[in-house]
Structure formats: C-alpha cells, structure tokens
Amino acid sequence: YDGINHANALLRANYPDEFRSMTHFRHQGFTNEVSMVLDAVARGLGFTVVSRLVLETSPWQRQVKALALPQAINEVLYLLRRQDSVLPKRYEKLLNGFHDQRLQEKTPLIPE
C-alpha cells in the first residue's frame, strides 16, 4: 500500500481543505505493475501518483497528463549492503546516475 500512502501524503499537502483520504475513492482492482497502472490512466479509468522518472520512461507518457503541484513530497531512500562487501565499480556509476536522477525529480514539473 505504498501507493496509497504516497497519494495520501501528496494530495493532503496540495489540497489540505478538500482532500481527506484515499479511502473516499472507489478502488477497483490492484496491480503493482506500473505499465498496467499507466495504461488504465491513459484509458481514462482513474489517476495515479508516480515519480517523474516512471512517467518519463513510460510508453504512456504522451497519453496521460502530468499535473504540476506546488507542494512536492520526497522520501528518503536507503542503500543497504553487507558491511564487509565491496561494490563493483559498475555499480558506482549506476548509483551515481540514480542519485543525479533523484535530485532532478525534486525540481517541480513545469506547468502547461
């Protein structure tokens, strides 16, 4: 239920007077496959809350509309590994790229 928690936090921050809880929305079905979620949104069956990276890498990005909201919600991500392990150099490049992408996600979308 991470998606519900993220949606609750984002919508409460941006619509404090109007929004109460995701429980007020009718839920029909469940999937944790992002492409299926965005397919449903593209067909007009609802809405979702996803990161900018998910939207920008989705084949559905032209069929859905991203809303620019004034209050962003960010969460801390932790990288855990065994204390005695050494990451291969190729992972260093991957993790640095991921870190740079996360910094870009913190900038707001440009309103249409």
Residue 111 within any structural domain of the chain: no
- Domain membership of residue 9 (yes or no) is yes
Residue 99 lies in a domain: yes
% of the chain surpassing 70 pLDDT? 92
In order of 14, 87, 88, 91, the CA distances from 49 in angstroms are 13, 32, 34, 28
Nearest one of 96, 98, 93, 90 to 53, comparing CA atoms? 98
Q: What is the pLDDT of residues 2-36, one digit of tens each?
A: 778 888 999 999 999 999 998 888 877 777 788 88
Asked if residue 6 belongs to a domain, the reply is: yes
User: Does residue 110 belong to any structural domain of this protein?
Assistant: no
Find the range with the poorest average confidence among 13-17, 57-61, 78-82: 78-82
How many domains are there within the chain?
1
Q: Which residue range is the domain that position 44 belongs to?
A: 2-105
pTM above 0.85, yes or no: no
Residue 86 forms part of a structural domain: yes
pLDDT of res. 4: 83
Residue 112 lies in a domain: no
